[in-house]
Structure 1
Amino acid sequence: MSALPDWMTPPREEGWFAEDLDRLVEAPRHTELIDGALVFMMSPQRAWHGRLVTALTMALMEQAGEGVEVEREMTIRLDARNRPEPDLLVTSAPYDPNRTWFAPQDVMLVVEVVSPESAHRDRTVKLRKYAEAGIPHYWCIEDEGTTPVVNVYELDAPTRAYVAAGIFRDVIERPVPFEIRLDLKGLLPRSAPGEASRDA
């Protein structure tokens, strides 16, 4: 086996810290820090995932009010050893072209679109960590026959844990963190005739 590149060696015995990500210029895009360990997206991302994240970003930007920003693929510095990168986040922090991360107190909503590679982290690890950091709203979106299904969670502040607020198919309507109405089936183009059989 070939030796690991130098940049993959932790800079100290305690491992990696959140601020180290800004110095890892050789690391692959979408590198996250979870419990002091670097996490890379190892498999190619599906077109469905990328299209959905883009469509959600545009739709939420259209509905967000003044003082609300929508960002995709930006990290959140939850604490010294955790800096995950959600697919999309909604924030009250003003736009800063040099920003590389957000503080959890500035994040209103986090959205993760589940892929096979990220499924365990999105459904369990990040569900817990975003709640413990005090982020009030979390959407975990699953692929159900190429149609997005949104699992919505709201923070129970006293326990710092999420409670399920609904599973949405076809249309999602939410009053928080702002008035949102999305036609889920209309977010993505329909498959061309015969496409499913070609992929089988």
Structure 2
Amino acid sequence: MTAEAWSEAPLSDTHGLPSWIFPPAEGFRAADLDHMPQLPAHTELIDGSLVFVSPQASFHSLMLFLLERELRRFCPAHLRVRREMSVVLGLRQRPEPDLVILRAEAVQGTSETAYEASDVLLVVEVVSPDSEERDRKRKPQLYAEAGIAHFWRIENQSDRPTVYVYELDPATTSYALTGIYHDRLKLSVPFEIDIDLTEIDAL
């Protein structure tokens, strides 16, 4: 079924379930997500399969607030910060990172639902219990293969963030760990950043 067809698809005859409950044999495509009625918010597409997000803990929300606020403060004029926007990595790959930094030219208006990987400089994932496997393994692999230069993974350790910073090795199209940060995130790439991570305690 094509992306356009999903917008016309009726509810399934099986207990009134949406038609996307029954995936096509070849899996869904990235464009399908914009045309599926009743799709839950923040649904991701990984390897052609829909991934639904569980309710998030307070740590997740507070960490995103702190990072978004501080990244907007340090972000150069030619870049933009976006929260919880999906990124098209391939035909059947459309994850939704917690935060992205992308080229300003890629922002065309307020009706956008996704960005292209080629426009994204940094992706950030705040790990939740239900997403540990995806955030630590599969999604970084997909981001690296798509050529996204920087990746941060943030873990909750005793209600304090630990930030794992990775940079793409273009020779292997995989990420190399360049640092682990606890109380302060001070970096010179992808631009000058200096964030007091302990501020999460005051939020």
In the alignment, which residue of structure 2 is the partner of 1:130? Answer: 143
Q: Conserved in 1, the CA contact under 8 Å of 2:29 and 2:48?
A: yes
Q: How does 1:157-196 map to 2 (within 5 A)?
A: 157-189=170-202
How much identity, in percent, do the aligned residues show? 45
SS at match of 1:45: coil
Amino acid at match of 1:120: E
1:150 aligns with 2:196: no
Shift of 1:186: 1.2
1:71 aligns with 2:82: yes
CA distance in 1, matches of 2:201, 2:111: 31
Shift of 1:37: 0.3
Amino acid at match of 2:73: E
1:57 aligns with 2:45: no
Shift of 1:13: 3.4
Shift of 1:173: 0.8
Q: Conserved in 2, the CA contact under 8 Å of 1:56 and 1:187?
A: no
**What whole-Å deviation, never above 9, does each CA across 1:60-79 have from its counterpart, x for those lacking one?**
00110111100000001000
CA distance in 2, matches of 1:2, 1:132: 40
Q: Conserved in 2, the CA contact under 8 Å of 1:52 and 1:188?
A: no
Shift of 1:3: 7.1
SS at match of 2:31: helix
When normalised by structure 2's length, the TM-score is 0.88
When normalised by structure 1's length, the TM-score is 0.89
**What whole-Å deviation, never above 9, does each CA across 1:54-101 have from its counterpart, x for those lacking one?**
111111001101111000000010000100000000001433212111
Q: Conserved in 2, the CA contact under 8 Å of 1:55 and 1:188?
A: no
Pairing partner for 2:35 from 23, 32, 51: 23
In the alignment, which residue of structure 2 is the partner of 1:196? Answer: none
CA distance in 2, matches of 1:31, 1:56: 22
SS at match of 2:93: coil
Q: Give the paired residue count.
A: 188
CA distance in 1, matches of 2:162, 2:73: 21
Pairing partner for 2:122 from 94, 109, 113: 109
CA distance in 2, matches of 1:22, 1:139: 27
In the alignment, which residue of structure 1 is the partner of 2:4? Answer: none
Amino acid at match of 2:121: M
Q: Conserved in 2, the CA contact under 8 Å of 1:7 and 1:26?
A: no
CA distance in 2, matches of 1:146, 1:74: 25
CA distance in 1, matches of 2:120, 2:192: 16
SS at match of 1:186: helix
Shift of 1:4: 4.3
Q: Conserved in 1, the CA contact under 8 Å of 2:18 and 2:37?
A: no
Shift of 1:2: 5.7
Amino acid at match of 2:114: W
- Structure 2 unaligned residues grouped into runs of 5+: 1-13
1:47 aligns with 2:64: no
Q: Conserved in 2, the CA contact under 8 Å of 1:31 and 1:40?
A: yes
SS at match of 1:181: strand
